[in-house]
Amino acid sequence: MANKVNIVLVHGAWGEGMHWNKVIPLLAAEGHNVVAVQCPLTSLADDAETVRRTVSQLEGKSLLAGHSYGGAIITEAAGKIPGTAGLVYIAAFAPDETENLAALLQKGQPAPGGANIYPDEYGFLWIKRDKFRESFCQDATAEEALVMASTQRPIAGRCFEDKPTSTGWKHFPVWYQVSSEDRMIPPDAQRFMADRMKAETITLDASHASLATRPVEIAGFISKAAGAI
């Protein structure tokens, strides 16, 4: 285990660390030190700082894996974390310094799940609970989708406008998993980001929630990245 890289898992919008619950045991079984960060989803700066503080408690090199908005978080955080060894994007945003999430969503046909997002009076965005499964995780079981909908963590609207102050994918090895059946981030946008980064890429016929619905493939992909470091 002394030679194993730490694996730091970062959830995205409307998620939490438990979205990685099927992936964590698979990675831990290979001897990796696995940590799932709990982000406040209040701003890109806040969320990147939460990741930085979490990783500061670890020894050795760390591979950062981000899902959805978590990709923007690891993009911002990577350069601020000594020992960052690589970045893995799981159906995730990978913005440049001139881009925010809203701009990247324009890189493909509008994702249908966006129609089911609504703001509350405090400036946070939610997915309608009765539309959560069809929007976020149509390949999950009804029970799994119910739990994800009921435990969704809203994201501050400003997170879709924030731009990174640094671009980690320009400085570290990069991997990208495309979800071809994604209804939250257009698959064409995902392919655009993966191609631009020259990332090692795999495509799964999965929903946006591939980390929850295809854990064996996702764990294997992250493990392969860790082994390449």
The 10s digit of each residue's pLDDT in 55-91 is 999 999 999 999 999 999 999 999 999 999 999 999 9
Average pLDDT, the chain: 96
Q: Identify whether the C-beta of residue 66 lies closer than 8 Å to the C-beta of residue 7.
A: no
Mean pLDDT of 1-13: 86
Residue 1 has a pLDDT of 46
Name the 3-class secondary structure at 40. Answer: coil
pTM, to two decimals: 0.96
In the predicted model, what is the mean pLDDT of residues 202-220? 98
* Amino acid sitting at position 85: A
Q: Rounded to an integer, what distance in angstroms lies between the CA atom of residue 145 and that of residue 132?
A: 7
Residue 91: which of 6, 226, 220, 218 has the closest Cα? 218
Rg (CA), the chain: 16
Cβ(184)–Cβ(115) under 8 Å? Answer: no
What pLDDT score does 126 carry? Answer: 98
What is residue 4's predicted lDDT score, i.e. its pLDDT? Answer: 83
Q: How far apart are CA 48 and CA 147, in angstroms?
A: 26
pLDDT in tens, 128-167: 999 999 999 999 999 999 999 999 999 999 999 999 999 9
Q: Is it the case that residue 53 has pLDDT exceeding 50?
A: yes
Helices (H), 15-169: 23-28, 44-55, 69-77, 101-104, 132-136, 142-150
- Is the predicted pLDDT of residue 221 greater than 90, yes or no? yes
Q: What distance in Å separates the CA atoms of residue 214 and residue 22, rounded to the nearest whole number?
A: 9
